[in-house]
Amino acid sequence: MLAALWLLGGAQAASATPMATADDSHSKLALYGETVSVAPGGSVWLGVHITPEKGWHTYWQNPGDSGAAPILTWKLPAGVKASAPLFGAPHAIRFGPLMTYGYEGPSTLLVRLEADSSIADTLPLHLSAEWLTCADICVPQLAELDVTLQKGAAKLDPDNKSLFAAARQALPEPSFWDASLKVGKASSDLTVFMAKTDIPDVKSVRFFPAFEGVLDYPADQSFAFTQEGLTLHFPRKPGAPAPKSASGVLALYYDDGTSAHYEMTPKLDIAADVASQAKGAPSSLDTLLPQAHAGLPIWQAALFAFLGGLILNLMPCVFPVLSLKAFAFISANNRSLAHRRAEGWAYTGGIWASFMVIVSALMALRAGGTAIGWGFQLQSPIFVGLMTLLMVLVALSLGGLIHIRLGVEGAGGSFAAKEGMQGAFFKGVLATLVATPCTAPLMAPAIGFALTQPLLVVFTIFTLLALGLALPFLILSYSTRVAAMMPKPGAWMEKLKEGLAFPMLLTAAWLLYIFDQQTGSAGTLMLVSAIIVSVFAVWLWQQGQGRVLRAIALVCGVAALVAIVRVPTPQDHQAAKTEAGDVAYSDAALNQLLTDGKPVFVYFTADWCITCKVNESLALDREDTRTLFKDKGVTVMEGDWTNRNAEIAHVLARYGRAGVPLYLYFAPGKAEATVLPQMLTYGILKDTLDGR
């Protein structure tokens, strides 16, 4: 068949009369005119006929994995324009692991010249052609051709009739079927709306895309007939650029050895993740996240955020602060409703503003390329240190040991009465701040999701989170009935307030634990000392009005703060702390294990992540789980995200997370991980390892 084509091409070239020819090392090029003259306002078809040596090939408009399409550069007289060349239907030419599209014999590129009415009598044309011929190796071919067309009535050149007829025959036919192409990250699907009866004897089909990014050229194309029509499925390289167009040629190969080619421009539907990746993004996190969840309606995400905010009110570190606010309300029952409402909103505003500050910081850091997620605050020992200090001060203030005029202790009637909008606002700020250690672990995954969304969604979600947190007080400030249900103010408030100091101290203890994990015992000693000095400073301050006294107190306080800020030197936490038998996570180590065909279980955790710790104690650090891992020969890897770690952030992002926990199981010989649920149990682990 190819030989016949070869002969046919040779025969045509022999009988037809070229306007000009050029020979290069491995091929020859001839330029033919369908007519030798062109009428003003008319057009003429030119044929650029390329004949490679036997065993060599040239390329289609999309050359596939390698190679290059011919480049035709025209120098044309005034009033003449050249179209882009039309290519004949390509062949699939395999070369080792690569696939190229081209012609193993002669091919003709058809170019249409259009003349306007202003053309001169003689029209000199210059063609500068560059085309690539390849066998095992590639050799570029060059030609410079000068030809002349005459102005006049177009008259067909009879010698060239068969050549142009053959060239048109070789062009793909316009498709009379509609089609659509869905481009996903790792595969594309072409649907051609035709019935099986349209092409009864078809043996196989192949789609030749005209643009990069539709499919992986060497991969097998599978096809099937469905309700909708002919569907083709192509594997795709996930790193390929997003295609500019879905246009291409559909080749149908029939039982009797014949084939037909149809040119089509299917409706292009590019998955959001492909499009966004093609655009590029400042932070890798944004590009990595699978967009499967992008379809989640905003209202739904917002609802979750709102519920989450409500739940936060019950957290041990938030509840005491909120109670104080409640006391302030109870004591201020005599105030006007309007005033209470305004205060409720000021409080809401404080919460909202603090959330926005935290989110903005996070977004800014991420835009700067820092690979972080929610909970990032707790990855900074300085922040943890300062939070510990704050918790202790709030606890002492609640316990009545010291008095800080931040409005925290404003449960007493006289003070609350004085407390204005500003006080309410800052109480909102304080509530958010003390809530952070609790939001981080509990809300990390959900907030992590939110952060992967566009700005507007992030804004909406955090606004609703803030509203959720503020809701109890908004209700309290609006509804006289609810306010009336609150117990009468009295001495019990003082007792309860003192009692609430203890959950705050517990929170401080927990923060101290994180700090210790981050900086080591020397750092912890410094922090504890600094906290004691700070408390001393506050106490000293309150002992009198003396200038010297206050100066000493101030110096002590500042020194303590400086000590906290200066102390932290994060240890190489990942290396420092790894459970016996668990391998510290690294991409390289994981790849090595996977290459060796070993099953691997990876868990990502952080000391400040309560969910992680609960899962680890309930499901992982159990005798039977460890036995299970041992029996199955599973290597357990631990990715510790207590401190910032870009490698781990990347893995989390790859699986669509901005925070821990994340549990992955790689079955033996599989590069694809099974993602285990966030609530891990022994049963889930066993089922997963058993391949169920």
Partner 1 sequence: MGVDPLSERRGTVRFFKICFLFLCAGWSVAAAAEPVPGKAAPAFTGTDSKGQKISLSDFRGKRVVLEWTNKDCPYVRKHYSSGNMQRLQRALTEDGAVWLSVISSAPGKQGFLTPEEADDVAAREGSYADHIILDPDGVIGRAYGASTTPHMFIIDTDGTLRYMGAIDDRPSTRQASLNGATNYVMKAWTAVKAGQPVNPTSTKPYGCSVKYGRQ
Q: Which of 77, 399, 413, 656 binds partner 1 (CB under 8 A)?
A: 656
- Taking alpha carbons only, the member of 50, 100, 282 closest to residue 208 is 100
Chosen residue from 113, 440, 446, 553 binding partner 1 by CB under 8 A: 446
Task: Please choose, from the candidates 506, 651, 512, the residue with its C-alpha nearest in 3D space to the C-alpha of residue 574.
Answer: 651
Give least dist CB 438 to partner 1, A: 12
Q: Are 638 and 583 in contact (CB under 8 A)?
A: yes
How near is the Cβ of 51 to partner 1 at its closest, in Å? 20
- 572 part of the interface to partner 1, by CB under 8 A: no
- 180 binding partner 1? (CB under 8 A): no
Instruction: Answer yes or no: are the C-beta atoms of 132 and 103 closer than 8 Å.
Output: no
State the pairing for strand pair 98-103/37-38: unpaired
Q: Which stretch binds partner 1 (CB under 8 A): 62-70, 102-110, 506-514, 561-569?
A: 62-70
User: Least Å distance between CB 509 and partner 1?
Assistant: 21
How is residue 69 written in tokens? 């399409």
Q: Does 677 bind partner 1 (CB under 8 A)?
A: yes
H helices of 206-297, in order, are 272-279, 284-288
Which residue among 6, 254, 655, 682 contacts partner 1 (CB under 8 A)?
655
**Shortest distance in whole angstroms from residue 283 CB to partner 1:** 9
The residue within the footprint of partner 1, chosen from 5, 20, 39, 139 (CB under 8 A), is 139
Task: Output 564 or 662, the one with its CB closest to partner 1.
Answer: 662
**Burial degree of 227 (CB within 10 A; 0-12, 13-18, 19+):** exposed
Q: How far is CA 78 from the centre of its chain?
A: 50
**DSSP classification of residue 617:** I
CB of 91 to partner 1, least distance (A): 16
What are residue 180's DSSP bridge partners?
191, 267
Q: Examine residue 66 and tell whether it contacts partner 1 (CB under 8 A).
A: yes
Nearer to partner 1, 66 or 323 (CB): 66
Query: Pick from 9, 352, 657, 688: which binds partner 1 (CB under 8 A)?
Result: 657
Of 20, 253, 7, the closest CA to residue 106 belongs to: 7
Judged on CB neighbours under 10 Å (0-12, 13-18, 19+), 518 is: buried
d(CA 594, CA 672): 10
From the list 19-27, 367-375, 381-389, 540-548, the region that binds partner 1 by CB under 8 A is 367-375
Q: Which is nearer to partner 1, 40 or 368 (CB)?
A: 368
* Side chain identity at residue 239, one-letter code: G
By CB neighbour count within 10 A (0-12 exposed, 13-18 middle, 19+ buried), where does 569 fall?
exposed
- Residues 362, 367, 370, 376, Cα dihedral to 10°: 10
Which residues, 6 or more positions from 435, have their beta carbon under 8 angstroms from its beta carbon? 312, 315, 317, 318, 469
Among 91-99, 498-506, 560-568, 683-691, the segment contacting partner 1 (CB under 8 A): 91-99
- Region 213-242 residues binding partner 1, contact defined as CB under 8 A: 213, 237-241
Does 650 participate in binding partner 1 (rule CB under 8 A)?
Answer: yes
646 touches partner 1 (CB under 8 A): yes
Residue 579 to residues 575, 600, 625: CA-CA distances in angstroms?
A: 10, 16, 14
Which residue, 284 or 578, has its beta carbon nearer to partner 1? 284
Question: Footprint of partner 1 on residues 303-322 (CB under 8 A)?
Answer: 304, 307-308, 311, 314
**661 preceded by a cis bond (ω within 30 of 0):** yes
Site string for partner 1, 515-554 (x = CB under 8 A): ----------------------------------------
| Full DSSP string of 14-59 | HHS--SEEEEETTEEEEEEESBSEE-TT-EEEEEEEEEEPTT-BEE
Looking at the Cβ atoms of 400 and 597, the one nearer to partner 1 is 597
**Total residues at the site for partner 1 (CB under 8 A)?**
74
Which residues ranging from 7 to 36 are in contact with partner 1 (CB under 8 A)? none
Which strands form 27-33's sheet, in the order they lie side by side? 20-24, 27-33, 43-52, 107-115, 80-82
Told to check if 89 binds partner 1 by CB under 8 A, we report no
Burial 251-271 (b: 16+ CB within 10 A, else e): bbeeeeeebebbbbebebebb
In the list 72, 250, 371, 464, the residue contacting partner 1 (rule: CB under 8 A) is: 371
In the set 19, 38, 89, 134, which binds partner 1 (CB under 8 A)? 134
User: Taking CB under 8 A as the criterion, which residues in 112-131 touch partner 1?
Assistant: 130
Give the shortest CB-287-to-partner 1 separation in angstroms: 3
Among 7, 142, 361, 554, binds partner 1 (CB under 8 A): 142
- Closest separation between CB of residue 302 and partner 1, Å? 12
Considering only residues 104, 114, 198, 212, which one is a binding residue for partner 1 as defined by CB under 8 A? 212
Only segment of 328-336, 355-363, 563-571, 666-674 that touches partner 1 (CB under 8 A): 666-674
Q: Which of the residues 582 through 641 are near partner 1 (CB under 8 A)?
A: 587-588, 591
Which is closer to partner 1, CB of 240 or CB of 387?
240
User: Contact region for partner 1 (CB under 8 A) — 68-76, 339-347, 381-389, 533-541?
Assistant: 68-76
647 binds partner 1 (CB under 8 A): yes
Torsion (CA) 384, 388, 393, 394 in degrees, nearest 10: 90
User: Which of the ranges 375-383, 499-507, 512-520, 669-677 carries the binding residues for partner 1, by CB under 8 A?
Assistant: 669-677
- Give whichever of 119 and 288 is closer to partner 1, judged by the CB atom: 288
Instruction: Tell me whether residue 456 or residue 671 sits nearer to partner 1 (CB atom).
Output: 671
- The pair phi, psi for residue 128, each rounded to 5°, is -110, 115
Give the SS3 label for residue 280. Answer: coil
Phi-psi region of 652 (alpha: psi -120 to 50; beta: other; left: phi over 0): alpha
Q: Alpha-carbon distance 365 to 375, whole Å?
A: 13
Tell me the window of 67-75, 78-86, 464-472, 478-486 that interacts with partner 1 (CB under 8 A): 67-75
403 binds partner 1 per the rule CB under 8 A = no
Largest interatomic CA distance in the chain: 115
| Residue 486 binds partner 1, judged by CB under 8 A | no
Instruction: Give the nearest distance from C-beta 446 to partner 1 in angstroms.
Output: 5
How far apart are CB 281 and partner 1 at their closest, in Å?
5
CB of 647 to partner 1, least distance (A): 7
Q: Least Å distance between CB 47 and partner 1?
A: 22
Identify the residue among 491, 672, 683, 692 touching partner 1 (CB under 8 A).
672
Sites for partner 1 among residues 258-297 (CB under 8 A): 277-282, 284, 287-288, 290, 292-293, 296
Class of residue 1 by CB neighbours under 10 A (exposed 0-12, middle 13-18, buried 19+)? exposed
Type of residue found at 211: F
Cα-flanking dihedrals φ and ψ of residue 52, to 5°? -80, 160
Q: How far is the CB of 646 from partner 1 (least distance, A)?
A: 4
Please, which of residues 326-355 interact with partner 1 by CB under 8 A?
A: none
